[in-house]
A and B are shown apart, each in its own frame.
Chain A
């Protein structure tokens, strides 16, 4: 097979954009896993919900003339839409925790997993029945330009997505490592009972985790809507699995691992897309997931996990 090296810079740019989205979603999986030791299957629906909330607020706020009249207005519009969509998705995440997971905190491990699948099924079908069963166009309201950098086409959208992703990642990292609440979260993930005895309010830490994770996933959903130009009720499934793979690559429970894993997966996918037929492109992530789990279940940055008795 001949390899066309001239496409490599372009693949790298695509990989970074995709990887950023994966990293944002993967953080949600890893945060929840770190604290509750459960895979939040409904997280892919948070990604979907974020995109729908984003479209809703974009439609409402773009009717205000101020936002669409100037560059400053556009920037403000998108910042506000993002914050609103992230907040709403975060609240949705907290609600799922309150009603679907909290009652099961002492149940066998299979129970919250099944409950999460139920939430995922419910939210997907809620979007299908009450909004639309078709894909909905997601408008980009500002003019998109293409720049030629080092042999690759880079659009304004990609720059916006990558820059905002990096800002969000740095913000989260600082929040977790520097603030008092972040310290409480780290303590809770190390030993929930001991943290509780030291005066950490476990319930609010868990609720906060279920706010932050879905909020980041929701932001990724909005990015995805802008990037691909449309959203659909089942858009979360494949990115959800891929981001979970990213979280596992980095070592589940490890925040920086999830960020790294997201970008690694984005790169691998973008590069492999050049060699494999498009029909098989989703298989790559599944194969990586299975191989990593079999040979290095702790991931790249994770510690090896010992089964607790």
Chain B
């Protein structure tokens, strides 16, 4: 552990990109744009769907990362905000259809674009409404209360609350539609060719990519802001942070509502992309999966949260796909590949236990979080070291 302290501090402060990192980002960007286009051109619509789905999970994982990773609050009902975004988006969509003159009108197609911000606000406001009473609670109590809240939302949706949600049959009801977003038809008509269809999934994939990039940009800015530093201070020591002037409740509420906001954005996007929502998409298991993504990738790290989402939402499907391709056809049979899909929850569960014991900071950790999560002895060792350094510095002038 010793010796690396200075490097860690400097690399936290400077955010400079090395050429290696730039090369990596270029490769990733090319893959993110090229692979779905490739899959679409060879007629593999399923993989395009998976890419878009992984994108949704990346957004959720980035949002929850604000709450769990930055602020250190374990939220086990995060999926409720995702559900809120989806349901509010669809229900307000009906209102929008009414105002613009029915689902067939030219303007109705703008409902998604117009409602994106209201849905984000719905998520954020739900976060504030839940957070205000419960954020006083200690970590583990908070976890279980958020779990209860998530279940209450799901049960309320299932029971057709206020006659709005159509119960477990989901929305839209028979005879209603979620109007496809403006632009979807345009790209289909103008960017398709004889052997390439610019499909609905592909269109939404690029919308989701744009939203993910926006999320990354906003969250990076937050991380380096006054609020971001307050989150870190609070996470490391709540009492000390309060003593130095951090308003704990306000700081927690910001984390909760900003995290919930991205849940809302992901929710409405999912609803308008898939065109159908039901309460079962927003169950407790989904919340746990998103927590898994954040933990596996690395709490408090943006690349980590994204990687976690890719691994957990994408890898089982990618393995299944590869098993059917000539590349791996000799290595894995189709049965083995689908067994991997069945065993994924078992594997993720085991992985969470192993990760906590061996690498609690995750695969791509934030450097600061990694230092916190390593054992107390290491910190004591470093404290001793800095004491020694201090004494040593004190000695030098004497030597001169």
- Show the binding face of A for B, using Cβ within 8 Å: 38-39, 99-100, 103-104, 106-115, 117-126, 129, 237, 241, 244, 277, 279-280, 282-283, 286-287, 289-290, 293-294, 297, 307, 309
State whether A280 touches B353 (Cβ < 8 A). Answer: no
State whether A113 touches B349 (Cβ < 8 A). Answer: no
CA distance A121 to B376 in the complex (A): 28
Q: Which of B109-126 contact A (CB under 8 A)?
A: none
State whether A290 touches B140 (Cβ < 8 A). Answer: no
Q: Which of A120, A124, A125, A286 contacts B151 (CB 8 A)?
A: A286
Q: Which of B144, B346, B352 contacts A114 (CB 8 A)?
A: B352
State whether A307 touches B291 (Cβ < 8 A). Answer: no
CA distance A37 to B153 in the complex (A): 29
Known: A109-B140, A113-B74, A287-B152. A118 touches B373 (CB 8 A): no
Q: List 28 A-B contacts (CB under 8 A).
A: A103-B356, A104-B356, A106-B376, A107-B375, A108-B373, A110-B139, A111-B356, A111-B360, A111-B373, A114-B74, A114-B356, A115-B353, A115-B356, A118-B355, A121-B345, A121-B346, A121-B349, A125-B343, A125-B345, A241-B144, A241-B147, A279-B155, A282-B155, A283-B151, A290-B134, A290-B145, A294-B136, A297-B137
Q: Which of A39, A107, A283 contacts B152 (CB 8 A)?
A: A283
Q: Which A residue sits closest to B237, measured CB to CB?
A: A309
- Show the binding face of B for A, using Cβ within 8 Å: 68, 72, 74, 76, 133-134, 136-141, 143-145, 147-149, 151-152, 155-156, 158-159, 238-239, 284, 288, 291-292, 295, 342-343, 345-346, 348-353, 355-357, 360, 372-373, 375-376
Q: Which A residue sits closest to B377, measured CB to CB?
A: A106
The secondary-structure label for the interface of chain B is helix
Residues of B within 8 A of A122 (CB): 346, 349-350, 353
Residues of A within 8 A of B158 (CB): 279
CA distance A46 to B231 in the complex (A): 36
CA distance A241 to B350 in the complex (A): 22
Residues of A within 8 A of B342 (CB): 129
Q: Which of B74, B343, B346, B349 has the most CB of A within 10 A?
A: B349
CA distance A294 to B137 in the complex (A): 8
Q: Which of B138, B152, B349 contacts A120 (CB 8 A)?
A: B349
Q: Which of A38, A114, A120, A294 contacts B134 (CB 8 A)?
A: A294
Q: Which of B138, B143, B349, B357 contacts A104 (CB 8 A)?
A: B357
Interface contacts beyond A121-B348, A294-B134: sample of 16 additional A-B pairs, CB < 8 Å, sorted by A: A103-B357, A108-B373, A113-B140, A115-B356, A117-B349, A118-B350, A121-B352, A122-B346, A125-B343, A125-B345, A125-B346, A290-B149, A293-B145, A294-B136, A294-B137, A297-B141
Shortest Cβ-Cβ A-B pairs, 3 listed: A118-B352, A121-B349, A122-B349
